[in-house]
Structure 1
Amino acid sequence: MFSKDIGIDLGTANVLVFVKGKGIVLNEPSVVAVDSKTSQIVAVGEEARKMIGRTPRHIQVIRPLKDGVIADFGITEAMLKHFINRLKLRGFMSKPRILICCPTNVTSVEQKAIREAAEKAGGKKVYIEEEPKVAAIGAGMEIYEPSGNMVIDLGGGTSDVAVLSMGGIVTSESLKVAGDTFDRDILQYVKKQYNLLIGEQTAEQIKVTIGTVYPDSRKDEMEIRGRDMVTGLPRMIKLNSGEIERALRESVHMIVASAKNVLEKTPPELSADIIDCGIFLTGGGAQLHGMEQLFTEQLKVPVFIAENPLDCVAHGTGIMLESLNKRLK
C-alpha cells in the first residue's frame, strides 16, 4: 500500500487535510484536550472543542497554534500525528509527502518548527508554502500569469494580504488580527457594557449569528447567557447586530488599513490589473456579514468572496500537489 501526497492547512482555528485524488478528507478544530495528571491526550479536534470551558481542573483544553504559528510544539505534533493516523495516510512501506502552509511573516525558526512537526507526525518530505499564495490558487486566481492578483486571507489567528504575479508574492502584509481577535472583541464588549462574563464559544456564536462589520446592514438580535460580574449569578441579556459592529470596528479597520498599505506599495501596472480583476477574500473571516461591502467601499476596488472561502487554502494545496514535481523543487 503506497502513501498519499497530502496538503495541510494548519490553521489557528481549524486543520484541513487534502489528499491527492480524494479532496478534503478532514476539517477539524485545532484543539487538543490533555490530562495534566497523566500527560495523556484525552481528545483532539471537534471532540476537544466541545470541552472548552467545560472541563474539570486536571483536563486542559489547548489550542497549540497561536497567531498562525506553533505555540506548543509537542501538542501540535501529537495533533498532526493523530489526524494522519486516523486517516490512514501512511503507506505500509512509505510515508506521505506533505505540503503545509504558513503565514507570510513567519520567521525561519517558526518555519523550521512547522516543518519538524510535520516530519515527526509522519511526513517523508515536507514542503512549506505561504498561505495567501496557496489561498489565491485555491480561489481560482491565475497567479502564474504576468498580471496582478490580490487576495486577503482572513484566518483565525492571522490576516494575510498579498499581491501576486508570475507565481510569486510582490507585496504583502500579515497581521495578528483575525477571527480570534473578533471573538475577544465581543467578549470584552459584553464584559464592559453589561458586566457579564461569557466564554469564547459564546462569543464566536454571537459573531456568526448576528455579527456584521458594515454599519446598519443587519438588524438581528440574540439572547445570550453568562455570569454576572457583580452578583456572580447567571444572567441573560439581549444583543443586537449594531453593537457587534461597534465592538469589531477597530480590529476590522486595522485589516482595511493593512490592505491599503499593500495597495500603496503595489507597482502601478499591477494596480491597474487589480482594478480589472478585483480583490478576493478567503478564509473563515470572509464569511462575516458585511465584509465584502466594507472592503469594496474602503478600497474603491471591486471585492469578491471566494467560493467556499474556508476551503481555499486546502484546495490550493491540492492544486499545488498536482504540480508538485514541477513547482516545488
Structure 2
Amino acid sequence: MFDTDIGIDLGTASILVYIKGKGVVLKEPSVVAIDRDTDTIRAIGEEARLMIGRTPGNIVAVRPLRQGVISNYSVTEQMIKYFIQKAVGKRSYKKPRISICVPSGATEVETKAVEDASFQAGAREVFIVEEPLAAAIGAGIDISKPCGNMVVDIGGGTTDIAVISLGATVESTSVKVAGDDFDDAIVRYMRKKHNLLVGERTAEEIKIGIGTCFKKTEVKKMEVRGRNLVTGLPKIIEVTSEEVEEALREATTQIVEAIHGVLENTPPELSADIAVRGIVLTGGGCLLDGLEELIESKTGINTMTAEDPMTAVAIGTGRYLEVMDEMNQEK
C-alpha cells in the first residue's frame, strides 16, 4: 500500500517527478541558491530561480547539473532529496523505487554519480534509464515492437537522438547543444550586433516570444531591455524574429547534423521504418518555433512533436519499469 514508484527527469533546466498512479506531480527549475558565507542552501527550485542575477554577493544561484550530468554532487543530492520529499510527502513508510534518466552519452562515472545521489536521497532501488528511451515511452511510442522509431529529445543541456527497436537503443548520439545554448547564442548575438548586454532570463524570453529557426514570411518583433555596452546605461531596442533565426542558426545546424549522423549509421530496415513513421521530437527545447520544418526540410522525413513534449521524459521514466515488466512477460 505504501510502496511508491517514482520517475525523475533529472534535467539541466528543470526537474520533473512522476509518481505511479498520479502522473507528473512536480515540475521545478533545477536551481539552488547557496549562501557562500555559511555554505548553506537558502532556496531550491522556483524560489531559487527567481534569485538568478538578482542576489547580493554572498548568495549565489547555481545549477548543480550541467549538460545533463552532475557538476556539483553534494548540492544535487540535497536537491533530489528535497524534490522527493516534496513529491511524496511524509506519509511514505517505505523507501521508494526510483527510475532516473541520464543522457545517452553519459559515462559510467557520470551514471554512477546519479545512482549514488539517488540512493543517498533515500531510494530503495535505483534504475538508470537512457533519456531517449524514456522520451519514446512518454511520447506514447510502442517500443516493444521490432520496428524503428526515431526520437530527438532536446532538453536544456543536451540533445539526445536515438533509434529504438525492441525496447533498446540501436543507434544513438548525445550532443551538448540544447535549450541553454539557444539562450547563450541570443546573448552573444545581442552583444555583438547591438552592443547590448542581456541576461539569461531576457534571452529566454526572446527565444519563447519571437524565437524561430526557420525563415517565415511573417516577421515578429519584440522590445528588449538591456545595458548598452558603450555608454553603460540601460537601453531598449527592437529585435525581429529574423535576427533570432540568424542567432540560433549555428546551434540548430549542429542538432540537424547530429540527426543526419544517426540516420547514416542506422541499419537499412530500420531506416525504412523511420521514413514511414517519421521523427518524434520531445523535450522543452523542441518547442522552438520552426524546428519541425527545419528538420523536415533537411532530412526529407516527416517530423512531429510529441503531445506533451515537456513531460514526456518524466512520464517515460516513471513508466519504464511497467513497460519492461510487460516486455519480459511477453517473452
Distance 1:311 1:293 in 2: 22
Indicate the percent of aligned positions where both proteins have the same amino acid: 53
**Structure-2 residue corresponding to 1:13:** 13
Could you tell me which residue of structure 1 aligns to residue 243 of structure 2? 243
Counterpart of 1:149 in structure 2 is: 149
For residues 57-92 of structure 1, the C-alpha deviation after alignment (integer angstroms, 9 at most, x for no partner) is: 000100010011001011111111111122235655
**SS across alignment from 2:88:** coil
For 1:192, the equivalent position in structure 2 comes to 192
Query: 1: distance between equivalents of 2:15 and 2:152?
Result: 19
How far off is 1:93 after superposition?
A: 3.7
Letter of the structure 2 residue corresponding to residue 57 of structure 1: G
Give the TM-score normalised by the residue count of structure 2.
Answer: 0.96
Residues 4-153 of structure 1: pairs in structure 2 closer than 5 A: 4-89=4-89, 93-153=93-153
Distance 1:328 1:12, change over 3 A: farther
Is 1:278 paired with 2:307? no
Q: Write the deviation string for residues 164-193 of structure 1: whole angstroms up to 9, x where unpaired.
A: 111111111100000000000000000001
SS at match of 1:51: coil
SS at match of 1:189: helix
In 1: Cα distance, 2:310 partner to 2:194 partner:
33
Q: Does 1:303 align with 2:306?
A: no
Cα offset, 1:217, TM superposition: 5.0
Aligned twin of 2:204: 204
> Is the CA contact (8 Å cut-off) linking 2:210 and 2:221 kept in structure 1?
yes
1:327: Cα distance to partner? Answer: 6.2
How many residues are paired up? Answer: 329
What's 1:269 paired with?
A: 269
Q: Deviations over 1:220-246 (max 9, x none)?
A: 111111111111111111101000000
> Partner of 2:289 in structure 1?
289
What is the aligned partner in structure 1 of residue 158 from structure 2?
158
Query: For residue 7 of structure 1, what is the amino acid of its counterpart?
Result: G
User: Which blocks of at least 5 consecutive residues in structure 2 are unaligned?
Assistant: none
Provide the secondary structure at the position in 1 that maps to 2:311: helix
Aligned partners of 1:254 and 1:323: how far apart in 2? 32
- Over 3 Å counting, the alpha-carbon distance change for 1:324 and 1:4 in structure 2 is farther
- Contact kept, 8 Å, 2:104 with 2:132, in 1: the verdict is yes
d(CA) in 2 for partners of 1:27, 1:108: 27
Paired amino acid for 1:149: N
Deviation sequence 1:19-46 (CA, Å, 0-9, x none): 0111000000010001111112111111
Q: 1:92 to 1:134 in 2, by over 3 A?
A: closer
